[in-house]
């Protein structure tokens, strides 16, 4: 079916306009925004002065049991203070670390993305192509209570060691000495002091082993625009979103959202998601793109001046917890 040239022109103009607004907004945030910790919204009546706009629907929900490992697609999930939860499975509640106590991610060992994890009746089972599966009872991990810490960027985050057998399995599939930590219920405040540039980021926007907050949202329209630039299909899972939205008016519209309402859940747009070499790793094969795409292209138009980490997607804090489902309508207020 032929697409009218006028429609293509309008779409391109919208994309260019939003990109320019993004650069202006990011620059403003870095230089002008006061560091005022806005109180959590307890009910929608507190936002009665905002105008809500319908911007699309939830296309996919993804939960990642182990940081940097394969994700699980969900039809429904609970949005908790620390991230998505489905039954007893919590987003990024496990992490791989090396002998020095530093987190191991797909940036360092791309093959981690091929590790699949499931938790059923309290049993964690790990799978990797060509290797026997491994299982461990998480209640036994809690009973043994072997506490260790790992570094997640600038934070020291605790966890329970899953044992020598788990470590041996990881060494077999990854070829490196590693250990697996489980986040259980150990308190672990995270650092969210990023200066004055993100006024909606709260000090208690914590997560388990996620980089910053417990949620990252993207839109199909933004991924679609990037696909036209790199001339290649880009699976959403390569970017590891928790919430994928479709139906927005223009690519990168999410940059301008302030509050996001999905069902009975309320989120805040606290920070653009900074991107790294992990975006070049295929989520199925675990192989890095030889041309450094799509990171190379993202750097050409999604970087704030003086920063080499392009922004793609948004990190969210949650004010009102609840249930979110595939197909839920998404309503937002825009930054004013």
Residue among 257, 237, 236 at smallest CA distance from 248: 257
The 10 Å CB-count burial string (b at 16+, else e) for 284-296 is eebeebeeebbbe
Residue among 174, 158, 157 at smallest CA distance from 166: 174
Q: For the segment 125-152, what is each residue's pLDDT rounded down to a tens digit?
A: 999 999 999 999 999 999 999 999 999 9
Q: Are residues 284 and 199 in the same domain?
A: yes
Q: Does residue 17 register a pLDDT over 70? A: no
Q: Does residue 7 register a pLDDT over 70? A: no
Q: Does residue 26 register a pLDDT over 60? A: no
Q: Are residues 214 and 312 in the same domain?
A: yes
Q: Is residue 283 part of a domain?
A: yes
Q: For the segment 257-271, what is each residue's pLDDT rounded down to a tens digit?
A: 999 999 999 999 999
- Split into its structural domains, the chain has a count of 2
- Domain end call among 124, 158, 182: 182
Q: Are residues 144 and 229 in the same domain?
A: no
Q: Is residue 32 part of a domain?
A: yes
pLDDT at 35: 46
Q: For the segment 218-257, what is each residue's pLDDT rounded down to a tens digit?
A: 999 999 999 999 999 999 999 999 999 999 999 999 999 9
Q: Is residue 227 part of a domain?
A: yes
Q: Is residue 140 part of a domain?
A: yes
For 191, phi and psi rounded to 5 degrees?
-80, 125
Q: Are residues 321 and 220 in the same domain?
A: yes
Q: Are residues 240 and 306 in the same domain?
A: yes
Q: Are residues 230 and 330 in the same domain?
A: yes
Q: Is residue 280 part of a domain?
A: yes
Q: Are residues 123 and 46 in the same domain?
A: no
pLDDT at 8: 47
Whole-model pTM: value is 0.89
Q: Is residue 290 part of a domain?
A: yes
CA angle, 20 as apex, 17 and 26 as ends, to 5°?
A: 135
- Domain end call among 127, 151, 182: 182
Q: Does residue 24 register a pLDDT over 50? A: no
Q: Is residue 317 part of a domain?
A: yes
What is the CATH classification number for the domain harbouring 38? 2.40.33
Q: For the segment 31-82, what is each residue's pLDDT rounded down to a tens digit?
A: 444 445 788 999 999 999 999 999 999 999 999 999 999 999 999 999 999 9
Q: Are residues 231 and 108 in the same domain?
A: no
Question: How would DSSP label each residue in 121-179?
Answer: TTEEEEEETTEEEEEEEHHHHHHHT-EEEEEETTEEEEEEE--HHHHHHHHHHHSS-EE
Q: For the segment 151-208, what is each residue's pLDDT rounded down to a tens digit?
A: 998 889 999 999 999 999 999 999 999 999 999 988 777 776 665 678 888 888 889 9
Q: Are residues 52 and 102 in the same domain?
A: no
Q: Are residues 169 and 267 in the same domain?
A: no
Q: For the segment 93-122, what is each residue's pLDDT rounded down to a tens digit?
A: 999 999 999 999 999 999 999 999 999 999
- Domain end call among 149, 182, 215: 182
Q: Are residues 146 and 53 in the same domain?
A: no
Name the residue range of residue 176's domain: 85-182
Q: Are residues 249 and 215 in the same domain?
A: yes
pLDDT at 198: 85
Q: Is residue 56 part of a domain?
A: yes
Across all residues in the chain, what is the average pLDDT? 90
């Amino acid at each position: 079916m032929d697409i009218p040239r006028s429609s293509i022109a309008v779409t391109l103009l919208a994309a260019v306009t939003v990109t320019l607004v993004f650069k202006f907004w990011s620059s403003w945030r870095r230089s002008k925004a006061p560091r005022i910790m806005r109180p959590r919204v307890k009910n929608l009546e507190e936002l009665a002065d905002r105008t809500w706009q319908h911007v699309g629907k939830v296309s996919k929900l993804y939960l990642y049991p182990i940081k940097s490992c394969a994700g699980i697609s969900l039809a429904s999930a609970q949005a908790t203070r620390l991230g998505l939860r489905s039954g007893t499975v919590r987003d990024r509640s496990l992490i791989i670390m090396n002998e020095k106590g530093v987190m191991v991610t797909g940036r360092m060992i791309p093959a981690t993305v091929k590790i699949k994890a499931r938790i059923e009746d309290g049993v964690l089972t790990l799978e990797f192509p060509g290797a026997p599966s491994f299982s461990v009872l998480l209640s036994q991990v809690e009973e043994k209570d072997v506490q260790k810490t790992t570094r997640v960027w600038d934070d020291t985050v605790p966890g329970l060691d899953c044992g020598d057998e788990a470590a041996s399995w990881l060494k077999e599939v990854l070829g490196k000495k590693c250990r697996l930590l489980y986040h259980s219920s150990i308190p672990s405040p995270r650092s969210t002091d990023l200066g004055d540039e993100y006024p909606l980021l709260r000090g208690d926007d914590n997560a388990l082993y996620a980089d910053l907050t417990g949620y990252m949202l993207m839109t199909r329209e933004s991924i679609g625009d990037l696909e036209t630039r790199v001339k290649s299909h880009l699976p959403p899972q390569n970017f590891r979103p928790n919430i994928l939205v479709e139906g927005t008016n223009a690519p990168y519209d999410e940059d301008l959202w302030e509050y996001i309402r999905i069902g009975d859940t309320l989120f805040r747009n606290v920070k653009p998601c900074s991107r790294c070499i992990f975006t070049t790793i295929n989520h199925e094969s675990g192989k890095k793109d030889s041309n450094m795409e799509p990171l190379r292209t993202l750097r050409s138009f999604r970087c704030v001046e003086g920063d080499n980490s392009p922004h793609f997607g948004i990190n969210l804090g949650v004010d009102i917890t609840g249930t979110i489902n595939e197909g839920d309508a998404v309503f937002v207020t825009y930054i004013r």
